[in-house]
Amino acid sequence: MGMIDITEKPVIKRLAEAAGKIILSPGTVLKIKKGQIKKGDPLLVAEIAAMNTTKQTHLLIPHCHQISLDTVKVSFDIFDESIEARCLVRAQARTGVEMEALVGVSMALNTVWDMVKYLEKDDKGQYPKTRITDIRVIKKEKGN
């Protein structure tokens, strides 16, 4: 089988944006807002993690082509009991960048979880309410 041969496809502008959210306790969200997380600012670390991971998507998903990315933008919206992450990726390539955007937003959310897990555990060490959900591509464009 192998990778799809994209040799004959033209290099064009590509854009994809993915989003997802992590559900957290209100207390955890408040500590994030107040800058009281032991490991530092989870949103800053999550942004860096997402940018790094988008550039490595071809190493993580076997059928993805290596794509030189022109930009990666990560943003967050904070709500009372959740944080929504968005990852926008642009490139000039022969194939789309949806997987890069999805990997980026997924890693951003995983990083937030890692940094606040000590606040989310119950007395048995479980995460009864914490969840990552609604990961999806919200925009895809190609061409001019």
**Domains, the chain, ranges and CATH?**
12-142 (3.30.70.640)
114 given a catalytic annotation: yes
Dist CA 96 CA 109 (whole Å): 22
Dist CA 136 CA 54 (whole Å): 15
pLDDT in tens, the chain (144 residues): 788 899 999 999 999 999 999 999 999 999 999 999 999 999 999 999 999 999 999 999 999 999 999 999 999 999 999 999 999 999 999 999 999 999 999 999 999 999 999 999 999 999 999 999 999 999 999 987
Q: Which one of the listed residues 70, 114, 123, 134 is annotated catalytic?
A: 114
Strands (E), 11-55: 12-23
**Predicted pLDDT at 3:** 83
